[in-house]
Amino acid sequence: MSLLEIAKSHGMKTERRKVPVDELSSFVEAGACGTAAIISPIAKIFDPEKNKIYEFCKDGQPGFETMKLYKRLTAIQNGDEPDPYGWVTIME
C-alpha cells in the first residue's frame, strides 16, 4: 500500500490486479513487494509453458522507476525525508 501511495504521488498510474503472462512482454520494469514494504527488482521471469524468458534487469541493475520508489520509501522510513502520509511514529 505504501508503494502504491508513493507511486501515485510521483504521478504514476497504479492498479492492483493479476497480470496475465501475455502482458509481461510489454513491461519495462518489474518488482515484488510484501509485508516488509520494500520493493525488490525482478530480474527475469521464466514461463515454462512457452519456454520463454522475460528480462527486466538486463544490465544487472534495477530500473529507474523501481529505484525511485525504493529510495523514497526507505528515506521516509529512515527519517531522511518528511513523512507526508503519517506512517512513521517517533519513539522517545
Q: What is the mean pLDDT of residues 70-75?
A: 94
Q: Report residue 49's pLDDT band, with 50, 70 and 90 as the boundaries.
A: very high
Q: What is the mean pLDDT of residues 71-87?
A: 93
Q: What residue numbers bound the domain in which 17 lies?
A: 2-77
Check: CB of residue 15 under 8 Å from CB of residue 43.
no
Note whether residue 51 is domain-resident: yes
- The pTM score is 0.81
Check: CB of residue 6 under 8 Å from CB of residue 83.
no
pLDDT at 57: 85
- pLDDT over 70 for what percent of the chain? 98
pLDDT at 53: 95
Cell of 9: 504521488
Helix, strand, coil fractions of the chain, as percent rounded to 5:
30, 15, 55
Residues 6+ apart with CB under 8 A from 30: 24, 41, 42, 45, 54, 56
Note whether residue 70 is domain-resident: yes
Note whether residue 89 is domain-resident: no
How many structural domains compose the chain? 1
Check: CB of residue 66 under 8 Å from CB of residue 39.
yes
Q: Report residue 65's pLDDT band, with 50, 70 and 90 as the boundaries.
A: very high
